[in-house]
Each structure stands twice: as structure tokens, then as C-alpha cells.
Amino acid sequence: MQAYMKSAMPYFGIQAPELRAICKRLFKAHPIDTAGDWRDTCLRIWREARFREERYAAIELTGVRLYCPFQTLDTLPMYEEMIVTGAWWDFVDSIASNRLGPLLRLYPARMRKEMLKWSRCKDMWKRRAAILCQLGFKHETDLDLLYACIEPSFPSKEFFLQKAIGWALRQYAWTDPREVARYVRQRGKELSALSKREALKNYSTLQNRITTSDG
């Protein structure tokens, strides 16, 4: 697991289903009363982690249903710290789609502004998180925000940014393949070959589905 993830931090070797089961039992046995204590606990687990699964556990704690009322804009600095210090796709992608996305739904104006800032900042992983935060939005995707978040990274040679751009576009293509194809055609000279390939990976299948439906 450590070799696959290219991780300097060692693993216990616990598979994801077992880890989630352990976390569920532990978190149920030790409820947290206040939002401040919850954030402090999440960050303490994160900062003191010696094994990668401990950081996965910290992310699991951020998503416990009991603490949904604590998911306010006050949690954004916590997620930002996890993204910047985690600095790898397994941490960043989970937080982007499962934590930043719901915050964007709850606080669209403020989060939109923050994601636009992140998309232009020097930290690659904050940029990736801004690009991926709408992965599950489907018809509710803010296309203007999506395009505004991916375009600052067009010139980047970073694999993880090029891949994120393609992934975000490919995900939206399940909702509107024609729009994604149009966008790729329009911005084809600026998009990397990897981003274009990823964006259009399922286009033929989706186009056939549309044709069949129209027929």
C-alpha cells in the first residue's frame, strides 16, 4: 500500500472497509459535544498521525453524520490545512468532493469566491481541490465556476492538475456531453493532451446514448 501510494508515511495495512468499521465504532463510543472540540479532535488526529490510516480516520471523523451541523464555513481552514499538508491525491480528492462540495452547496457565494482564489494560488493541491469540488453536482454544476477554476491551470505541466481538469470535464460529460465536447473544441489549443483525452474518454458512448434517445 505504501509503495502504491508513493507515501513517505507508513501504513498499518488496514483495508478501507475495516478502517471505516473501526472508525464507526470508535466515533460512536466517543461523541463530541461542540463544533470547536470536533475540529480540534480532527486536527489533532491529523497532525499527530504516524500512519496514513490515522489521517484517513481524521477525514472519516470530518464526515460523521452526527456532526453535520458543524459543517459551516468555520471548517474551511481545517480542510485547507489537510489539503496543503496532506499534499497527495488520496487525501485531497476525498476532501474536495465530499467536504468542499457540500460547503459549496450550503454557502455558494462565499465558497465560490474561495474556490476561485484557490484555483489561482501557488499550491497545486488547493488548485486541484477547487477543480474537483463539484464532481458530484451533475445538473447543479456551476459551469462558470468550473471553467473559471480549471482555466488558470491550463498552462501547468503538473500531471495532477492536467488529470483533474480532464476528470472534472469527463464527470460533467455524463450530464451534458455536447457541452463538454464544445468546450474542448473551443479551448483545445490550451488544454493539455491528457486533459482532452480524459475529458472525452466516454464521449462516444454518451453520444450513442443521446442518439438512441433522440431516435
Is residue 30 in a domain?
A: yes
Q: What is the pLDDT of residue 150?
A: 98
Task: Give Cα separations from 31 to 25, 64, 73, 186 (angstroms).
Answer: 11, 10, 22, 52
**Nearest alpha carbon to residue 145 among 114, 178, 188:** 114
- Please tell me the total count of domains within the chain: 1
Is residue 14 in a domain?
A: yes
Sequence-separated (6 or more) residues with CB below 8 Å from residue 28: none
Is residue 163 in a domain?
A: no
Measured between its terminal Cα atoms, the distance across the chain in Å is 48
Is residue 145 in a domain?
A: no
Confidence label for 120 from pLDDT (cuts 50, 70 and 90): very high
pLDDT of 214 higher than 80: no
Q: What is the pLDDT of residue 138?
A: 96
Per-residue model confidence as pLDDT tens digits over 142-175: 999 999 999 999 999 999 999 999 999 999 999 9
Task: Give Cα separations from 132 to 147, 166, 179, 190 (angstroms).
Answer: 11, 10, 18, 19
Mean pLDDT in residue range 176-188: 95
pTM (2 d.p.): 0.92
The phi, psi pair for 11, rounded to 5°, reads -110, 150
Mean pLDDT in residue range 66-70: 97
pLDDT of 42 higher than 70: yes
Buried b / exposed e over 63-76, threshold 16 CB at 10 Å, is: bbeebeebbeeebb
Is residue 34 in a domain?
A: yes
For 59, the domain range is 1-70
Per-residue model confidence as pLDDT tens digits over 200-210: 998 777 665 55
Q: What is the pLDDT of residue 203?
A: 79
Mean pLDDT for all residues in the chain: 94
Q: What is the pLDDT of residue 206?
A: 66
Mean pLDDT in residue range 188-213: 80
Q: Where are the alpha helices (DSSP H) in 49-173?
A: 52-62, 76-86, 89-95, 101-106, 108-119, 124-132, 143-150, 159-173
Confidence label for 22 from pLDDT (cuts 50, 70 and 90): very high
Mean pLDDT in residue range 35-53: 98
Sequence-separated (6 or more) residues with CB below 8 Å from residue 146: 131, 134, 168, 172
Is residue 104 in a domain?
A: no
Provide the grid cell at 102.
Answer: 457540500
Q: What is the pLDDT of residue 51?
A: 97
Is residue 174 in a domain?
A: no
Exposed, middle or buried, 42 (CB in 10 Å: 0-12/13-18/19+)?
buried
Is residue 108 in a domain?
A: no
Print the SS3 string covering 178-204: HHHHHHHHHCCCCCCHHHHHHHCCCHH
